[in-house]
């Protein structure tokens, strides 16, 4: 079947998948428990709308709090922060300079989730990879790496193939021993 549907084509569950993938990078191996906890954490007024509308930053926060409250093994060693919530970088360059700065220390024990506004509302996971960052998209059959030059942190996209980030929607994960 060459035109098989993939995660994200008919559902808005990329936020749950982004959390599963970020926590997995942080050493939490109970993917099905994390996914179920994320779904259960959302209030009933968000269901079933979440299935086709997708998840908001507030939904991500609620789901992460749910994972912590559920006492999922390994989650207790992870801190979650929202580095650009109060002070949003003003330009694409300022965003990337500030974003890469987040990974200067304890690099191997960090990852992030980034909210996209274009080409559609979506969530990507960013993992340190060598001296760069690998951006992984769960909305395809196999997670793929999105080149950073295809991601723009500005009010307008620089090209029609470019993903545009919501600069405030960065969630940083850090694992502690």
CATH number of 75's domain: 3.90.70
- Number of structural domains found in the chain: 1
Range of the domain at 170: 14-175
126 within 8 A of 133, measured Cβ to Cβ: yes
Q: What is the mean pLDDT of the chain?
A: 87
- Whether residue 131 is contained in a domain is answered as yes
- Whether residue 148 is contained in a domain is answered as yes
Interval 38-84: pLDDT, tens: 999 998 888 888 888 889 999 999 999 999 999 999 999 999 999 99
- Whether residue 1 is contained in a domain is answered as no
- Whether residue 83 is contained in a domain is answered as yes
- Whether residue 107 is contained in a domain is answered as yes
How much is the pLDDT for 46?
A: 86
Least-confidence region, from 2-11, 21-30, 149-158: 2-11
- Whether residue 143 is contained in a domain is answered as yes
- Whether residue 125 is contained in a domain is answered as yes
> What's the whole-number mean pLDDT along residues 150-154?
84
Q: What are 35-42's contacts with CB under 8 Å, separation 24+?
A: 37/63, 37/66, 37/67, 37/70, 37/72, 38/63, 38/66, 38/67, 40/66, 41/65, 41/66, 41/67
- Whether residue 6 is contained in a domain is answered as no
Interval 84-120: pLDDT, tens: 999 999 999 999 999 999 999 999 999 999 999 888 8
């Amino acid at each position: 079947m060459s035109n098989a549907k993939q995660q994200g084509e008919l559902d808005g569950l990329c936020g749950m998948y982004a959390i599963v993938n970020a926590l997995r990078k942080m050493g939490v191996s109970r993917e099905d428990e994390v996914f179920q906890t994320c779904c259960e954490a959302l209030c009933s007024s968000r269901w079933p709308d979440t299935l086709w509308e997708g998840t908001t930053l507030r939904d991500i926060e609620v789901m992460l709090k749910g994972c912590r409250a559920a006492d999922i093994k390994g989650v207790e060693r992870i801190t979650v922060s929202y580095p650009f919530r109060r002070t949003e970088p003003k330009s694409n360059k300022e965003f990337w300079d500030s974003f890469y700065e987040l990974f200067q220390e304890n690099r191997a024990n960090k990852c992030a989730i980034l909210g996209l506004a274009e080409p559609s509302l979506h969530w990507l996971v960013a993992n340190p990879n060598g001296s760069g960052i690998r951006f992984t998209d769960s909305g395809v059959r196999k997670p793929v790496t999105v080149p950073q030059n295809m991601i723009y942190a500005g009010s307008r996209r620089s090209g029609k193939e470019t993903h545009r980030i919501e600069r405030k929607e960065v969630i940083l994960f850090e694992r502690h021993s």
